[in-house]
Amino acid sequence: MSTLPKVYILGDSISIHYGPFLQQHLRGVMDYARKEGEDEALLNLDHPAGANGGDSARVLAFLQAKSCAGGIDADVLLVNCGLHDIRTDPTTGAKQITPSATLKICARLSKPSRR
């Protein structure tokens, strides 16, 4: 079992692309883990599935499910889902979710479990 701290990546399609570079950069410094399902996600990056966490609503649902199941075994949670959130309702002009709401919920749910 590694004694290095662990980072867990939860994000949209961009995180799938930078993930291998981050993992290589962190080698020997931090262990790397991410939401599973990269092959499924790469089938169509416009439709979030698998490792593609999509927008904040999907990311928050994933975090809530993980929280109920005991949390995410990581010291650092890197969340990357803001691009999907700038989607604007053409009728009302409302954003899908406010950044401050996302941060508050993620902070509450992202307490790492202790090894």
Judge whether 83 and 17 are in contact, CB under 8 Å. Answer: no
Q: For residues 9 and 12, what is the distance between their CA atoms, to the nearest angstrom?
A: 10
Cα end-to-end distance, the chain, whole Å: 10
Cβ atoms within 10 Å of 28's Cβ, excluding its own: 7
Q: And the tokens for 95?
A: 């954003």
- Full pLDDT tens readout for the chain, 115 residues: 789 999 999 988 888 889 999 999 999 999 999 998 888 888 887 778 888 888 877 888 888 888 889 888 899 988 887 677 777 888 998 877 777 776 776 676 655 545 4
What residue ranges do the domains of the chain occupy? 6-109
